Amino acid sequence: MRSFSLLLDFKTGEFTPHDRINMRKLSHMKGMFFDTESELQILRKEDPLIYSFSEKILPEENGHLQLATTTIQPGKIGEEYFMTKGHYHRRPDTSEVYLGMGGEGCLLMQTVDGDFDSIEIRQGVIAYIPPYWGHRMVNTGKTPFIFFAIYPGDAGHNYGDIERTGFKKILVERDKKPVLIDNPRWKQRD
C-alpha cells in the first residue's frame, strides 16, 4: 500500500477525496431518543438528517487505522439533543481518539458494567476513549458539531448492545442549558 493524503474541510467536516458519506436520518434511529411520542410526531411530517460521517475506506486489519469525520446537526427530539447512535467496538479491547473541530457538544461513554463518563468537546479538544468504553457524541450547540475520529483498523462497530440497553445517561435541554440526567429506560447488559 502507498501513502496518501486527504483534505479535511473544517467547515463541513468532509474529506476530499472520500469513499463514502453515511447519512443518519431520524428514521434510522428508531427508539433511540427518549421521547418516542415527539419522534413519531416529527416523523409524520419529515425525516430530518441527524448526522452524517465521511469515511476513507481502509483495510479492516490490525496495524491500519480508520479515519472518519462526523457532522451532527443542531436540534432536539423533545428535549433531547441530536446525537450519534453510539457503539462499542466489535473488538472491544480497542481505543479511539476524537478531536473537536467545530461547534460544541459532549462525549458520553459507558462500559457494559455500568461505569459512565462524559467529556465536553469544543474545537481543539482531544478526547481519548479507552478500550471497552462505548461512545456517543451529542450536539449541545446551535451550529453543526464537527469532530474527527481515528481508531484501529480492525476495531469495527457493535451497535447492537447500545440498541438493547441505551445509554445510562441522556443529555437534555433544561432552562436553555444542557443537563445530563439518568436514562429511566437504561438497562444493564446481562
Residues in the site for ligand PA5, rule: CB under 6 A? Answer: 53, 68, 70, 84-87, 96, 135, 137, 149, 151, 157
* Distant-in-sequence, close-in-space partners of 18: CB < 8 Å, separation ≥ 6: 6, 54, 55, 56
Q: Cα torsion for 113, 118, 124, 129, to the nearest 10°?
A: 0
In whole angstroms, the minimum distance from the beta carbon of 143 to ligand PA5 comes to: 17
Within its chain, how far is the Cα of 141 from the centroid?
15
Minimum CB distance to Ni ion smaller for 14 or for 96:
96
In whole angstroms, the minimum distance from the beta carbon of 86 to ligand PA5 comes to: 5
Minimum CB distance to Ni ion smaller for 39 or for 84:
84
In whole angstroms, the minimum distance from the beta carbon of 37 to Ni ion comes to: 30
- Dihedral sign for Cα atoms in the order 153, 154, 160, 162: negative
Minimum CB distance to Ni ion smaller for 96 or for 104:
96
Q: Give the interface segment with Ni ion, choosing from 88-96, 103-111, 120-128, 140-148 (CB under 5 A).
A: 88-96
